[in-house]
Amino acid sequence: MKRVNLKEVRFSVETGIIKVSEKDVQFDTQYEVVSAKTGNSMVFNFSHSTGPEFDPTTEWVYTSQEGIEFRVCNDAHITAQNARAYVKAKHGRVS
């Protein structure tokens, strides 16, 4: 489980969604998000993605027991790099 400090993420009170870029966290299936202000934490488990792995607009959705979502958003640059590496590996040109 990865620990994420809340000061590094965006939270929308209206939607109950916390968003962070994939540039700022390592991928995991579970995150503990900690509020820098209060020190309180909440655990989020992977639920689903909003699209394909190599789509730069895809978000990886995690949910808490409290009904709040934590989303890790693909970064366009990182997603393009990962897609190129995947294609190279599938064609046997790992470099």
pTM over 0.95, yes/no: no
- What is the pLDDT averaged over residues 45-51? 98
3-state SS, residue 74: coil
For residue 12, pLDDT over 90 is answered with: no
Are the C-beta atoms of residues 60 and 78 closer than 8 Å to each other?
A: no
CA 13 to chain centre: 19
CA torsion sign for 2, 4, 10, 16 is: positive
For the stretch 50-77, pLDDT in tens is: 999 999 999 999 999 999 999 999 999 9
Task: Report the mean per-residue pLDDT for the chain.
Answer: 89
pLDDT greater than 80 at residue 36: no
pLDDT for 8 beyond 70: no
* 54 burial via Cβ count (<10 Å: 0-12, 13-18, 19+): middle
Q: How far is CA 95 from CA 11, 61, 71, 72, 75, in A?
A: 39, 31, 31, 28, 22
The pLDDT value recorded for residue 5 is 76
